[in-house]
Chain A
């Protein structure tokens, strides 16, 4: 019988409320990031770079944007005759109707258990998407095998002042074991002597048999607990090995952190360590034409996707595919997503503009680094008043 070492579960059921309006019709996992990616590309690329071929995608809602992005999984080398991508939509318990919920009691994890059994894997890695990183899962597996605890989890060492009260951090013992994952505000965790927190990256590796047992027990109890909460419980119950990740990292939990994460990829060291390592980041392939920079354009310190037509000035911004920027416009410290058009003479600063937006000529859109202005998907804005009311 075929033997797979590791299977993977990408859990897209993640807190999205603080990222509205960007998350009104997509999970956190399909938020555009870094000029051409979606957040899910990072865990998915880590998974395929480690040779993992069985991947389950747990979507909160219909998973339309997820399926549209992933399709057959071919762009991540997951469209082979072995294994592949398995999509499971409608898993956000807070969105499930009460009658439907009743039928799920004792059955909520049936699909996951079936996937895990059929994957025929020895280990399973569970990852979210809101922590952007480029992790070597093979190294994580080696680390896990060398240690005794049934679960291994991953952290990034961050300065205490980078943590918000809600930032989830590992409670570490003196010999480096994790005994709980808690909010930084909890009195049971404190920064270490160097003033650092062990920020949880929400990645868990454990044996598939153990995971199936955990899920079966949850089914038997019938208490409808999310997969992420089950993992938190497992860490408390068994203690976990804590693997330190040292590469580029960004946590995305609200508009400001999403904005800052995009701005931080504009630093050359950061985008090189995230995007130019041996572990490539894959994403949906599009056949866009080259981006044209007109004579009047001036672009500096920016990342740009293909298919664009640029006449204006762009400074320190992330510009996605297929963006049209008309003459005499000025874009500064902003994120402009796929298919958006900016009118002539419009000035934009500290702003996030979602996909397929049209901004008319001679307008001013201005946020602040702490509170970026956000223009939701598909909006048409032609009057200054429409900006103010937004």
Chain B
């Protein structure tokens, strides 16, 4: 870290994302393509870079190859400077055994050597699977102003949604007095975004003491926050009001992609003052043939469209054959859609091949999914 930097960011990108089914069979959730030319982790990495955080550790574990290739040396986000940079933190073996991890806090504990090397005053813990734009500097200012030991990013949700989140109940100064995981009867509307700023020294003490005495401190939500509250640490909720989506399920991933299509989406992807960057491949421009018909859709480099595309996103190198109709769908990079195919309410995985005349049809409540590299309806000749 640069000597002027106080905060180190750690992105937790190791979870399996099993609720994404087929899509995460061979890749980590943060590496899932989003919005035509991004991967989910691009939002968090770009937020770090845009917030002036130059040193970022990305903790990986489950199927990390695609994610590692994507992150590279961090230059795609301008995170390859001389004093900071992105470090991909993978489990390794040592004299104390293998450093795989069981939960979010355990993942931090297993990488304590890396964090100590950076020697940060504050530790920003982030998830690699949310779609949002956020200035972490403002949250750090809040953390300092409150003289907090822990600040948790929260977002307002409806009582119905609250049943799926960890909820923070606060006093009138926004100090967290109670934490409830997925409450049936929520007492507040402040859902945890999985974004934490810790005073590193304090967290380090809790982690080392607990793990050395075999106390379970595996997860931030389940274990660490309750322990902080029990010990009367000053924990505050930082309210974020912008666009934020957890894309951990097929349904929510599809939904967020469809929202992304709207020119009025409050995510405001075109804002040049807060760019979301990605590892850009050099590809030829898109080609739309004389039979193409594209409405309310996003298309990127190297796509080839001869069919009809309506309210859908095509990622790089996707081709849509003549007579085909793609509606309300998100097609991931390299997928090939043959002729006279119908793709409706679907997520199509990378490099999937959909043969001529095939039909992939889901509904708004049950999105159809074709896995990575899956081959559907290709007639054997």
Q: Which of A35, A285, A301, A305 contacts B282 (CB 8 A)?
A: A285
Binds A, one of B55-63, B103-111, B231-239, B285-293: B285-293
In the complex, which of the residues A35, A282, A305, A306 has the most CB atoms of chain B within 10 Å of its own CB atom? A306
| Interface residues in B, total, Cβ within 8 A | 34
Given A75-B282, A300-B292, A306-B300, are A289 and B287 neighbors across the interface (CB < 8 Å)? no
In the bound complex, residues from chain B placing their C-beta under 8 Å from that of A182 are none
Contacts of B277 in A (CB 8 A): 287
Nearest Cβ distance between residue B316 and chain A, in whole angstroms?
10
Nearest Cβ in chain B — how far from A138, in angstroms? 20
B292 with A287: CB separation less than 8 A:
no
A304 to B282, Cβ gap below 8 A?
no
B276: A residues at CB distance < 8 A: 287
On chain A, the number of residues with a Cβ less than 8 Å from chain B's Cβ atoms is 34
Q: Are the CB atoms of B263 and A271 closer together than 8 Å?
A: no
**Complex Cα–Cα for A309 and B282 (A):** 21
What residues of B have a CB within 8 angstroms of the CB of A301 in the complex? 288-290
B36 (CB) vs chain A CBs: closest residue: A290
* A302 sits at the interface (CB 8 A): yes
Bitwise interface map of A from 113 to 147 toward B, beta carbon under 8 Å scored 1, else 0: 00000000000000000000000000000000000
Check A36–B284 contact: CB distance below 8 A: yes
Pick the contact of B288 from A286, A292, A304, A309 — CB < 8 Å? Answer: A304
User: Which A residue's beta carbon lies closest to that of B292?
Assistant: A300
Q: Give the docked Cα–Cα distance between A297 and B263 (Å).
A: 14
B287: chain A residues at CB < 8 Å are 268, 271, 302-303
Cβ–Cβ < 8 Å partners of A280 in chain B: 282
CB closest residue in chain A, given B311: A295
Cβ-neighbour of A291 out of B75, B261, B299 (below 8 A): B299
Least CB distance from A31 to B in Å reads: 16
Within 8 A of B (CB), among A269-320: 271, 275-276, 280-283, 285-287, 289-295, 297-306, 309
Interface residues of B in 241-276 (CB under 8 A from A): 261, 263, 269-270, 275-276
Is there an interface contact between A304 and B285, defined as CB atoms closer than 8 Å? yes
Contact of A291 with B290 in the complex, beta carbons under 8 Å: no
Q: Name B301's contact: one of A271, A282, A306 (CB within 8 Å).
A: A306
B37 A289 Cβ-Cβ under 8 A = yes
Partner of A281, one of B263, B284, B288, B301: B284
The reply on A34 being an interface residue by CB < 8 A is: yes
Report B306-328 residues with CB < 8 Å from chain A CB: 309, 313
Q: Which residue of B lies closest to A309 (CB)?
A: B263
- Closest-by-CB residue of A relative to B298 is A290
Residues of chain B contacted by A290 (CB below 8 angstroms): 35-37, 298-300, 313
Q: Add 4 more A-B contacts to A292-B298, A293-B295 (CB < 8 A).
A: A280-B282, A281-B284, A293-B309, A302-B287
Interface residues of B (CB under 8 A from A): 35-37, 75, 261, 263, 269-270, 275-278, 280, 282, 284-301, 309, 313
- List 29 A–B pairs whose Cβ atoms lie within 8 Å, in order of A's numbering: A35-B284, A36-B285, A36-B301, A74-B75, A268-B287, A271-B284, A271-B287, A285-B282, A287-B275, A287-B278, A287-B280, A289-B37, A289-B269, A290-B300, A292-B263, A293-B294, A293-B296, A293-B297, A295-B296, A299-B288, A300-B289, A302-B287, A302-B288, A303-B285, A304-B285, A304-B286, A305-B301, A306-B37, A306-B301
Closest 4 A/B residue pairs (Cβ): A35-B285, A290-B298, A290-B36, A275-B284
